[in-house]
Amino acid sequence: MLFFLSPTCPVCKKLLPVLRSLASAERGTLDITLASDGDPAPHVAFYEREKLSRFPYVLSTEMGMTFRIAKLPYAVMIGPEGRISAKGLINNREQLESLLQAQEMGVASMQEFMSHQHDAAVAAAE
């Protein structure tokens, strides 16, 4: 998982305990890398202050542009074959868990899954 965040984002900071818990619970099956962009100094201070040494932390404007990250916090799940398997804006624990579930189900997001379910129900009713 690539988790895009910012040292100045209050929601991102709120999710750090969730990421720590997830990293412990999914040890061996899920790798989490934190990603952001900008001047390194505030990121180094944030990394140290929040005790994030268990997570790799990448600063790259190009990475955010490549994944078309427009809002934070945002997560991108990359499957074992190296392809994006799920992605989405993450504002709470439930959305993060939903993204993990979407990856397990082989859909980009739970919203996509629900849309397919709805379309199938409409087609069946016709």
Name all domains of the chain by residue range, CATH numbers in brackets.
2-125 (3.40.30.10)
Question: What does DSSP assign to residue 55?
Answer: S
Question: Average pLDDT of 91-111?
Answer: 77
Identify the pLDDT of residue 86: 86
Of the chain, the percentage scoring pLDDT greater than 70 comes to: 83
Identify the pLDDT of residue 98: 85
Give 71's strand partners: none
Question: What does DSSP assign to residue 14?
Answer: H
Which of 19-23, 43-47, 50-54, 100-104 has the lowest average pLDDT? Answer: 100-104
pTM of the predicted structure, to 2 decimals: 0.82
Question: H helices of 1-126, where?
Answer: 10-25, 40-49, 61-66, 93-105, 110-125
**At 123, is the secondary structure helix, strand, or coil?**
helix
Task: State how far the Cα of 88 lies from the Cα of 108, in Å rounded to an integer.
Answer: 8
Identify the pLDDT of residue 91: 94
Cis peptide bond prior to 73, omega within 30° of 0: yes
